[in-house]
């Protein structure tokens, strides 16, 4: 089955700097890669996703890149702000309606003042 | 839309007692998922339903765990008897037919003493 590895487990960046979180997946048939943000005391919230027919997607300060050959994908947050502090999860699935999304272990992002 | 609603938010129970967690998915969502989150194991999928029918329960840790979805607007996750190692945050999530991302509830923090 699918296995998703996520690095780093903890990341601290100065406010205003960029943050990058990287993930790898094992199943070459996976074609849907969502990213979730979990704030303290809340459930994970979908912030951006990418499908395998594109290599990059941007939404304001957030961007995701996908390299299907290498089976890795990354989340980039630019101009980080205090409200970006949270746990971020990458995930992968085959986007078949009966296929479950497999999550990475999460990255705790700290934005330093 | 009120989102995915879970109850209770917090549950403290003694070892050996029965625990029932409840979830109301978003109206119109035909998939419902139960996850367990711990520091050690991250987000684990326990079971998921499509149109009220269980599709995959391979993540249910043992026979002490059971889940039901009697109708499209309600699901329960039951642990009987509960053990201290069941202490975790349990999330319910639902999904819309034409979208792949999940909407998570706020979770139930279970503590078994």
pLDDT in tens, A32-59: 999 999 999 999 999 999 988 888 999 9
A32 touches chain B (CB under 8 A): yes
A20 touches chain B (CB under 8 A): no
Which residue of chain B is at minimal alpha-carbon distance from A93?
B100
Task: State pLDDT tens for residues A65-76.
Answer: 999 999 999 999
Average pLDDT over chain A, rounded to an integer: 93
Does B104 contact A101 at a Cβ distance shorter than 8 Å?
A: no
B77 HSE (CA, 13 A, CB side):
32
Write out the residues of chain B at the interface with chain A, using a CB-CB cutoff of 8 A. 4, 31, 33, 42-43, 45, 48, 50, 55-56, 91, 93, 97, 100-107
User: CB within 8 A of A47, min separation 6: which ones?
Assistant: A35, A36, A37, A59, A62
């Amino acid at each position: 089955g699918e296995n998703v590895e996520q690095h780093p487990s903890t990341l601290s960046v100065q406010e205003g700097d960029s943050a990058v979180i990287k993930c790898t997946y094992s199943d070459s048939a996976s074609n849907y890669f969502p990213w979730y943000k979990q704030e303290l005391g809340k459930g994970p919230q979908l912030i951006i996703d990418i499908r395998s027919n594109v290599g990059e997607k941007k939404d304001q300060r957030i961007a995701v890149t996908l390299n299907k050959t290498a089976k890795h994908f990354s989340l980039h947050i630019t101009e980080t702000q205090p409200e970006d502090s949270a746990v971020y999860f990458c995930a992968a699935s085959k986007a078949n309606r009966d296929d479950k999304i497999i999550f990475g272990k999460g990255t705790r992002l700290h934005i330093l003042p | 839309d009120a989102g995915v609603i879970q109850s209770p938010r917090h549950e403290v129970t003694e070892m050996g007692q029965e625990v029932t967690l409840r979830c109301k998915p978003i109206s119109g969502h035909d998939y419902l998922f139960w996850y367990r989150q711990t520091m050690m194991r991250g987000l684990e999928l326990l079971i998921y339903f499509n149109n009220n029918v269980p599709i995959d329960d391979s993540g249910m840790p043992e026979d002490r765990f059971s889940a039901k979805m009697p109708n499209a607007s309600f699901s329960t996750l039951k642990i009987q008897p509960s053990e201290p190692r069941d202490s975790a945050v349990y999330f319910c999530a639902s999904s819309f037919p034409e979208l792949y991302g999940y909407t998570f509830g706020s979770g139930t923090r279970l503590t078994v003493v």
